[in-house]
Amino acid sequence: MSRTPLIAANWKMNPVPDGALTSDSPFHPQHGVDTIVFPTFLELISCIGEGLPTGAQYGHADSTGAHTGDVSMTMLKKVGCQFVLCGHSERRRDHGEEDSDVVAQAEAALRNGLHPVICVGETEAERKTKRHKQVVERQVRVLPLREAVTIAYEPVWAIGTGVTPTPEQAQDMHAFIRSLIPEARRETTRILYGGSLNPENALELLQQPDIDGGLVGKISLGPDNFAKIVLAAIQARN
């Protein structure tokens, strides 16, 4: 089964990179590679206006209400977002989001016609004590996997550290995650890798059979580097 590779840029709390909002920017889908950009809330509309496939980094599960500082899935859909990140480890860490919140967000996204990109991944301590599969299984089993969603495996110890799992370790986890997906969706669900992905390590990770693309943080702030990762996704499929 061939899944179209997807390379997504998570710009986190950074401005849209220079050169991203042009018609020839590498953040547009190309050559059989899908792309998504995840800017801050403030820059969603500029990205949507440029025609980039755009997602929010978070959305509240309720449609409206007394939630100061939050933005709902309903509102995100209304301005033209197509995607939303759910359960990024930085949200779990900074905002105390738990599995139940992540599930509520993913379900709200689906109800509102947004495609959730749901992040899972173990901490360094969990990997060191060999509980990584147990933790990821707990995070994955609760998800609404009978619907069309994307999963991003982002080991917390690889995010922003310059350290990545070996391609074999990553493939092993991706295959494990795929085995947890109900059969009807197993072969079509894309599972992205995230955590210190860069132009040097992208090819060997993206060549793994169960790695269907990447969720790129810091390196995606440079359009040239992002373009190199897109190129690696093309090469990996050839």
Q: Residues with catalytic annotation?
A: 88, 154
CB of 169 to ligand 13P, least distance (A): 16
CB of 139 to ligand 13P, least distance (A): 15
Residue 213 within binding range of ligand 13P, rule CB under 6 A:
no
Q: Between 112 and 151, how does the x/- string for binding to ligand 13P read (CB under 6 A)?
A: ----------------------------------------
User: Angle CA(129)–CA(144)–CA(150) in degrees, nearest 5?
Assistant: 75
Q: Contacts from 101-104 at CB under 8 Å and sequence distance 24+?
A: 101/61, 102/139, 102/142, 102/143, 103/142, 103/143, 103/144, 104/61
CB of 36 to ligand 13P, least distance (A): 11
Q: Which of 195, 205, 213, 233 binds ligand 13P (CB under 6 A)?
A: 195
- Select the residue whose beta carbon is closest to ligand 13P and give its number: 217
6-10: strand order across its sheet: 34-38, 6-10, 213-216, 191-194, 150-153, 115-120, 83-86, 55-56
Residue 218 within binding range of ligand 13P, rule CB under 6 A:
yes
Q: Which of 97, 126, 154, 212 binds ligand 13P (CB under 6 A)?
A: 154
Q: Which of 26, 165, 194, 213 binds ligand 13P (CB under 6 A)?
A: 194
CB of 162 to ligand 13P, least distance (A): 8
Residue 196 within binding range of ligand 13P, rule CB under 6 A:
yes
DSSP per residue, 153-221: E--GGGTTTS----HHHHHHHHHHHHHTS-HHHHTT--EEEESS--TTTHHHHHTSTT--EEEE-GGGG
Residue 211 within binding range of ligand 13P, rule CB under 6 A:
no
Q: Contact residues for ligand 13P (CB under 6 A)?
A: 10, 88, 154, 159-160, 194-197, 215-219
